[in-house]
Structure 1
Amino acid sequence: MPVTPVLTGRWNTPESWTLAVYESTDGYQALRQALELGPDDIIKIVKDSGLRGRGGAGFPTGMKWSFIPQGDDRPHYLVINADEGEPGTCKDAPLMTADPHSLVEGIIIAAYAVRAHRAFIYLRGELVHCGRRLRAAVAEAYRAGYLGRDILGSGFDLDLVVHSGAGAYICGEETALLDSLEGRRGQPRLRPPFPATHGLYASPTVVNNVETIATVPFVIRRGVEWFRSMGRERSPGPKIYSLSGHVTRPGQYEAPMGTTLAELLELAGGIRGGRRLKAWTPGGSSTPMLTADHLDVPLDFEGVVEAGSLLGTAAIMIMDETVDMLKVVRRLTQFYAHESCGKCTPCREGTTWMVQILSRLERGQGDAEDVDTLVDACDNIFGRAFCALADGATSPIVSGIKFFRDEFVPATPTGATGPTGPTGPTATDRVAGTPDALAGAH
């Protein structure tokens, strides 16, 4: 299969994170092109390219930029969601570490397009080394005249701040991130109003994911037709897929959108130890699990939805035949219970009770009715909270029970019968609509 080294093209270059190396490989040429165009022209190019948000939801990037009101005499802000905390998601951190200037250049172009003069990178606090690289790159960009006043003589001014969070998963949700950036406790906001009109400091704000913005310079530099020549019609361009778990060579693999897991496994050397694939997540722990029957599903936004899950951040966690699915689901649910901000009762109480039921089943002290209770609880939690954390918490449970119910139901004693109950058609049917909980803004 064709591999497209676009976003990852500089990763193996010595000192790839420095300005000298970046400029020697066409770095900041896209910015020069962009500054010769009008902001609206840039938005149109990004719209025509079909670039969609790489943070989970897949919303069209150019359309999102066009929502920012113009001529409103209010400050505009650009915020980069680098709070990568979804279990299994590990694409933004290596990108920022190996090639931080691609993000910085993308930020300058995007800020120019939405007429913002102040931008922020909200970085996950645990990514200490990544933060050092980013701050060094920002300092280099200021010294070279790519940031600050009158950038490259264009008359455009931009200040960029790298802000490290305190390790709260909830701050990957864009409105909780904005509250945290303003100095308040990170909790999701009621919407509407939306960030496009009332975001940071109640002003028009664009929130984008790291990979989305790092893609923008390539779109500007190489053009719409080049970008659309990769991937599929409704999901064009290259994508970084993260493979972790029981795979021979885990890591980041860049390939066109729509690549299948079978093709990615071929690149990664297959399942570790020659074992068989049992289950996998297409977009991190908050997306419904799939099985070996889904190896040929195109990994783009439409293909994965048709299979009953979501692409999310393309964080593919591979589980082989030795995995105890009950234990996996319990551990993931425990994560969501721990990371719930506590604002919404269904999430705060529901995730805690689900952990207790799963733990009881894991100890062999539960019964078949507990499984039905879990599905019923998921149906009552889904869609009833301010953000998607609660929805994401239901995905491992409902999809796990859907495909591996026999691992959740305690063995029935010989000669006895026990209730098995339905798998909860409402919850099972709705799980495909579960958004990638907090993997990042579009």
Structure 2
Amino acid sequence: MFIDTAKIYVKSGNGGDGSVSFRREKYIPLGGPDGGDGGKGGDVILVVDPNMTTLLDFTYKKKYIAERGQNGSGSKCYGKDGENLYIKVPMGTMVKETNSGKIMSDLSHEHDKFVVAKGGKGGKGNVKFTTPTRQAPSFAEPGMPGEEINITLELKLLADVGLIGFPNVGKSTILSTVSNAKPKIANYHFTTLKPNLGVVSTSGIQSFVIADIPGIIEGAAEGVGLGLDFLRHIERTRLLIHVVDISGIEEREPFEDFLKINEELKKYNIKLWDRPQIIAANKSDILQDDSKFEEFKKKVEEIGYKNVYKISAATKIGLTELMKEAARILSTIPIKDLEIEEREMYIPEEKKFTYTITQEENVYILEGSFVDRLLASVNVNDPDGLRYFHTVLRNKGIMDELIKRGIKDGDSVRLNDFEFDFIM
């Protein structure tokens, strides 16, 4: 089963907590603090696996959480770092932040890696808080939380040549004839519901990868039919073979179809519209009037397209020449020229511990991630810890902010479940 989009949740590991410990050995009853730091949480890393061709695995597992760092311990022992979590993805995977749709990374090369969520930093042990005046701190720092994010994976096929055109013009038949691919073929529209890849290997030419891109009809760039699902697969192709039904058995006008498909390419991405095209006038074996092909060729050449081939996928007429021309054009297009247009990139917000102050009569309520982290790092029931607690409030400017808001001696300050009286 071919799956080319997936939404998953990833979370890196939390950092381990720092340790509150004191050295206690025989003959050394007051050895001082020796609490070690917590270990760093594991990162979540996307890594390209060239053997993967689909995002099918992500339909069964949608949550990925890395290992947290171990807590520090006594004797200045640092906690072990959490193991990184490696998630394999196919080559050609675009990573987007789900909520904004902005691109985070484009994993289009064999050895590409991307750290999608960084592990939290380990907290400091109490040995790191010693000062000349505070020689036995009874508090330590908790580990930083890991990052968590919802991401969307989009797979874009890595093909040299893309077969485009309206449904039922013979794209799948061409693919099955010139390559080893075995796509579903039937005489009705939208027979192909997923892209198919094949390798063209013909004597005298450099082999290349060709893809049958389904689902492109009028209005595809606005989401009609399957257009948006598969238009993105064309972006990485270096050359397009535009297949039209020249026979007219479905009473369609080949030149009008040609213009409509190109208009959809232009709406979706102007670079696709400018991409080199070979026009393959297919089903020539059932063409009743040969002048119809000549008229079509003349119109196409008048708007600047010179490579027009009269072919029949069913009888293999003209396919060898078509593939040789594709190989020749590919040899003139460096892969590096195929960079996808620049788009707005996702920039993660800097992690900050914030707080808010609200007032209810004579009670000032302090809330936020800063409060949670501060209370987790100190024992407010310990005199030394309580002094450190007030020092942090002063250093962060919270005391000054409370004074600006009109707090008076005797008013209360509440932080979660802890409350104290304010004194100037």
TM-score bracket, normalised by the shorter chain, equals under 0.3
TM-score when normalising by structure 1: 0.20
Bigger radius of gyration: 2
User: Which structure has the highest helix share of the two?
Assistant: 1
